Amino acid sequence: MEVAVVSTKNVGARIDGGLDTYRGMWKGLLIAAAVWPVWHWYVLRVTDGSDEPWGVVALLSATVVILWQYQESYRKNDIYNGFAASTLLCYVLLYDTVPPLARAMLAAGALWLTVAHQVRSAAALGILIALSLPIVSSLEFFLGYPIRFVLAHCTAQIVSLMNDQTVVVHGTLLTLGQRVVALDAPCSGIRMLWVGLFIAALTACIRLMPLKPTLAIVFYALRVVFLCNLLRSVCLFYKESGLVVLPEWTHEGIGLLCFTLASVCIIRRGCIYES
Amino acid sequence: MHYLTPEPPLKLLPLIALLVAQTLINFGTARAQSEEHFQRTLAPYFESSADDDSLQGFPLKGTDVYVSIAGVIADVTVRQVYKNEGRDTIEATYVFPGSTRAAVYALTMEVGERKIVAQVKEKEEARATYEKARAEGKTTSLLEQHRPNVFQTSVANILPGDTVVVELRYTELIVPTDRSYQFVFPTVVGPRYSNYPAEGAPRSESWVENPYLRADTPSPAGFTIAVHLEGGLPIQALSSSSHAVNVNYASASIADVSLTNPTARDATKDFILNYRLAGNQVETGLLMFDGGNEKFFLAMIEPPFDVKADQIPNRDYVFVLDVSGSMHGFPLDTAKQLMHQLLSTLRTTDTFNVLLFSGNSSVLADSSLAATPENISRAEAMISQQWGGGGTELLPALSRALKLPRAENVARSIVIVTDGYVAVEREAFDLIRKNLSIGNVFSFGIGSSVNRFLIEGLAHAGMGEPFIVTSPQAGSQAATQFKKYIQSPVLTHSKLQFSGVDAYDVEPESIPDVFAARPVYVVGKFRGKEQGTIRLTGQAGKGEFEKTLQLDPHSANERNGALKYLWARQRLQRISDYQKVEPNSETKREITTLGLTYNLLTEFTSFVAVDQSVRRNSSDQIRTVKQPLPLPEGVSEFAVGGGISTAPEPGTWLMIIIGSIGLLFVVRRQLHVKIWK
């Protein structure tokens, strides 16, 4: 029985070779040490309560992927090393100028470029590293209202088609007669999007997808999550407006059901991939 | 790269999901139509009575207000006339506003020829007394406080044809701003938004569910107001900015004001009366009242009208700017613009410092810097580099700001700029109150949903002013207002000393600086004879300032009986700030004791009056009628509607768990594929 080329053999080699197998990682570790202010900021940021700390989960996942897939000289490394050095240089030059999150992105980019040529699913790993940064509140700030605006209008159209009354939209407020439902900040679906992308990236890592399939599954995840969020919005409008009488626990239940549907679609997409 | 063909059932998964959802919707809709009830929150609604008893739906026939202002104390009598023009016995409830400074101290009820004086009782006890009298068929009235500025009158057993008059009295201190006195009588409570579930809502919240009239429907209840003003000094510039009024002068210092042509629209906006009194120096005044068991005093310090440049002492500012994660983006951008405008108001003779805080804090300099263009540029550069991140550790930042070294003879103002998303309000108020002698505190709340309780509480505790800034344009206006308000602190390092008199329970505990725009008043109690002195010292623009007030036995005036209510109100306001956050039993007891001792309406005490005549058989029905309120002027009908529900996402950790379970299938799939290969 053939054993997996990437997984079992490498693990065996790593067990036999011990730390020598990771000797090529010294560059990455050196860069990680050099950007220690970013680590300091990161720890403060994820523990201060201003953002959800789930980026740590993505960071740990990325670490596991690196340790699992790491292979010396998997790809030609000159180009990657060059880009890594350039990114690190940008980090140093722009340190005082850019905000902390941008600094963290440059540092993360340099780290990723250092190991990207030595892992099979480099693109997916990069996405995991990006998701590990505390970006949810920033995404909420910049994308939250536009998403809610689009959701509100789509929801209004769908519900109006299914009812004999028209749903009126005022910004992100949906009005049906005297009933008003607001799609406020926690309704934007940014968290669903984050988890959806996390699942897509991790699926791509596990399935050892190269660049194109990784991008395909990521864009697929974006579409699916949006559609499932829309489905959630429509269902919850019926519940919250009182058109449908359901117990309170179904509020979260409907959300989880819609998210499960999205997860199933994403994972199914990853499972049917074959290189 | 190619994809395996998915199994047929999975292709139909989306369709199956839609079918299930549609089934649920149809089933649920049928249930909803048959039961017609759904979870909702408290919300105001539109009155829609159109039956024969429509007149009975408006039991309040009129509100007559009589205001007597003597100097800086206003005594207000509000007469509410209820009449039952229907066929059923009714209970009328009416929600109405009041001044947040009002000390409601009396309530009477007139039923025909009988006049019943209400008693103040603990809130639940008063409610029980009222319910018992209602059940027994006795005409009874209850006055409750739901908010410091929202009250409710309930009158039960108003028989057909009955007229019941409820009269309440309150007193308040009128504190001038910019040398201009303003008396405000609020007329209507606007529709309120609440996300409190309607089912099981307590009385302190259920008042929100009140009927409102449509915007184009005038209220059938009449409204009149008459003001008798005795200024003590010649009155200048007496007018109303809200209503058309007639002014008659009995003398240079006495005037009577009334509405020109009272209409229903007069009750849809606050009545605002503005006036000035002659005077040009920092005035001090002393009022005293001998209440038998306790003696009260009120000391008032007014700044001069025209502040000359050499009268203005040097100023020192400490700007405390929130740069935490919650300020990231728009709030911090607005705050930066505001800081730019605030820094531009500084004179070169002023000094300033900037303290930035999030999880930690950092200062521009160890001690205040001169407000030179170079130092201001340095400060602006430091501020512009902030992008918002970290926690909001307000208390350590405030402590550090209060401990920053201050030069002698300098008035310090601490300016806090934050969105207020903290949970340490009580501790912050306490810290500021204890350090009032160090400086005043002004607060700027940045954003559309700031923690107003904190912002207003900080300013209230710091004897400053709160500003809410929702946009960069609003920031410019706020900075201008702040500059105007603070540009002339006339008296700093103020201290009150009592000689030959045993003064105690003085409110406030520390004396803040005196600004040109706002006087300072101190109320307290004293023991012994009306003798001795109260000495006010401080630093003025021209140097040391001192004013001594002599307690004179002849100064105690029975007309100053309002002082006991004003003192109690002042203390209530201070301890009520704590009560809002931590309803601990000791504070509640203190508030209740104050209310019962001084006969005041409070959060935990109510007035109840019972006419002992049984006028309705207990078996007869009684109908509760909520008096519909007019929409305040300028408020659209969108303010009234059903409860607003929301649709937040499920918890992130739950989604991660679901994803993790799904990923196990991916791992299994990966191992299966490799083994199959």
Asked if the model's pLDDT at residue B239 lies above 80, the reply is: yes
Asked if the model's pLDDT at residue A273 lies above 50, the reply is: yes
* pLDDT value of position B34: 36
To the nearest whole Å, the CA of B95 is away from the closest chain A CA by 23
* pLDDT value of position B1: 41
* pLDDT value of position B139: 92
Would the CB atoms of A267 and B665 count as touching at under 8 Å? Answer: yes
Output the CA angle A104-A107-A110, nearest 5 degrees.
150
Would the CB atoms of A208 and B666 count as touching at under 8 Å? Answer: no
Asked if the model's pLDDT at residue B342 lies above 80, the reply is: yes
What does the block give as tokens for B546?
Answer: 């001192």
CA distances (Å), origin B559, targets B73, B227, B289, B384, B486: 10, 18, 8, 57, 35
Would the CB atoms of A271 and B669 count as touching at under 8 Å? Answer: yes
Give the pLDDT confidence of A158-190 residue by residue, as tens digits: 998 888 778 888 777 788 776 778 776 667 888
- The arithmetic mean of pLDDT across residues B580-598, rounded, is 81
* pLDDT value of position B599: 93
* Residue of chain A whose alpha carbon sits nearest to that of B654: A256
Query: Greater confidence, B632 or A132?
Result: A132
What does the block give as tokens for A10?
Answer: 């490498």
Asked if the model's pLDDT at residue A105 lies above 90, the reply is: yes
Asked if the model's pLDDT at residue B588 lies above 60, the reply is: yes
Highest mean pLDDT among A224-233, B403-412, B453-462: A224-233
To the nearest whole Å, the CA of A212 is away from the closest chain B CA by 9
Would the CB atoms of B647 and A179 count as touching at under 8 Å? Answer: no
To the nearest whole Å, the CA of A253 is away from the closest chain B CA by 8
* pLDDT value of position B25: 40
To the nearest whole Å, the CA of B674 is away from the closest chain A CA by 5
Looking at the partner chain, which of A141, A263, A267 has a beta carbon nearest the beta carbon of B329?
A141
Looking at the partner chain, which of A50, A263, A274 has a beta carbon nearest the beta carbon of B326?
A50
What does the block give as tokens for B82?
Answer: 């209820």
Residues of chain A with pLDDT > 70: what percent?
85
Whether A175 and B638 have beta carbons less than 8 Å apart is answered as: no
As a whole number, the mean pLDDT across chain B is: 77
Among B17-31, B172-186, B387-401, B529-543, which stretch is predicted with the lowest mean pLDDT? B17-31
Asked if the model's pLDDT at residue A144 lies above 50, the reply is: yes
Give the pLDDT confidence of B353-392 residue by residue, as tens digits: 999 887 667 788 888 899 999 999 989 988 887 766 655 6
Among A90-94, B644-648, B671-675, which stretch is predicted with the lowest mean pLDDT? B644-648
Looking at the partner chain, which of A173, A175, A263 has a beta carbon nearest the beta carbon of B659?
A263
Whether A183 and B643 have beta carbons less than 8 Å apart is answered as: no
ipTM reported for the complex surpasses 0.85 = no
Give the pLDDT confidence of B71-92 residue by residue, as tens digits: 888 999 999 998 888 888 889 8
Q: CB of A90 within 8 Å of any CB in chain B?
A: no
Looking at the partner chain, which of A187, A208, A274 has a beta carbon nearest the beta carbon of B649?
A187
* pLDDT value of position A230: 92
* pLDDT value of position A250: 80
* pLDDT value of position B577: 59
To the nearest whole Å, the CA of B568 is away from the closest chain A CA by 41
- The arithmetic mean of pLDDT across residues B327-353, rounded, is 83
Would the CB atoms of B29 and A181 count as touching at under 8 Å? Answer: no
Would the CB atoms of A181 and B670 count as touching at under 8 Å? Answer: no
* Contact residues, A window 9-38, toward B, CB-based 8 Å cutoff: none
Among A4-18, A122-136, B203-217, B317-331, which stretch is predicted with the lowest mean pLDDT? A4-18
- The arithmetic mean of pLDDT across residues B125-131, rounded, is 95
* pLDDT value of position A193: 92
Contacts of B39 in chain A (CB under 8 A): 242, 248
**Cis before B303 (ω within 30):** no
To the nearest whole Å, the CA of B204 is away from the closest chain A CA by 24
CA–CA distance, B291 with A18 (Å, rounded to integer): 90
SS3 content of chain B, % helix, strand, coil (to 5): 30, 35, 35
* pLDDT value of position B412: 85
Asked if the model's pLDDT at residue B247 lies above 50, the reply is: yes
Q: Which residue in B654, B666, B671 has the most chain A C-beta atoms within 10 A of its own C-beta, making it the best mutation to test that interface?
A: B666
Whether B455 and B465 have beta carbons less than 8 Å apart is answered as: no
- The arithmetic mean of pLDDT across residues A73-92, rounded, is 81
Cβ-Cβ pairs closer than 8 A, A with B, add up to 206
Would the CB atoms of A1 and B646 count as touching at under 8 Å? Answer: no
Query: Greater confidence, B58 or A148?
Result: A148
**Cis before B508 (ω within 30):** yes
CA–CA distance, B184 with B188 (Å, rounded to integer): 12
Contacts of B4 in chain A (CB under 8 A): 272, 274
* pLDDT value of position B608: 95
As a whole number, the mean pLDDT across chain A is: 83
Q: How confident is the model at residue A97 (pLDDT cuts 50, 70, 90)?
A: confident
Q: CB of A165 within 8 Å of any CB in chain B?
A: no
CA–CA distance, A5 with B674 (Å, rounded to integer): 8
Asked if the model's pLDDT at residue A110 lies above 60, the reply is: yes
